[in-house]
Copies of this chain bind each other. A is one copy, B any other.
Amino acid sequence: MNGGALNKQTQNQGSCFWVIPDGYIPPDSSGELVSHESICVLNCGEAAAQLRIHIYFEDREPLEGIKEIVEGRRTRHIRTTSLEKGGERIPEGVPYAITVESDVPVFVQYSRLDTTQPELALMSVMAYPADK
């Protein structure tokens, strides 16, 4: 199979809606590495993926429709602290949840690095594909 056909076939197996119930930005860091989370998106197709990211909280209305782009045949590991809409960002130290909507099928994994206490900790999950 040539690369173009492979990209198209692979892309079609992706999902346009991914869910990550456990979001949390650790407020503290220690050592050289800064605590952070990443939403890791892979776009195997040729066209750019227009993302709309929605943030759900425990005690207030969601922050909906944060826009991001992942170019074709590229990955992006998006730091959650970089997400912003109308000046609003995800606060540190509060439990939240993430959904990622894309106009073309993509693949999404979520990882967190926590250095609140000295020495780092890692966790990672494949996001849940909500339209399969």
Contact = CB atoms under 8 A, between A and B. Distances in A.
Interface of A: 3, 6, 10, 13-14, 17, 19-22, 24, 31-33, 38, 40-42, 44, 56-59, 61-62, 64, 73-77, 95-97, 99, 101, 107-109, 111-132
A13 B116 contact: no
Given A44-B99, A56-B75, A121-B122, 4 more contacts: A22-B124, A44-B56, A58-B75, A126-B126
A126 B97 CA distance: 13
Contact of A109 (B21, B57, B111, B130): B21
Given A117-B119, A118-B119, A126-B128, A74 B95 contact: no
Which interface residue of A17, A107, A112 has the most chain B CB atoms within 10 A? A107
A15 to B, nearest CB: 9
Contacts of A127: 126
A46 B7 CA distance: 29
Which interface residue of A10, A20, A21, A124 has the most chain B CB atoms within 10 A? A21
A33 B21 CA distance: 21
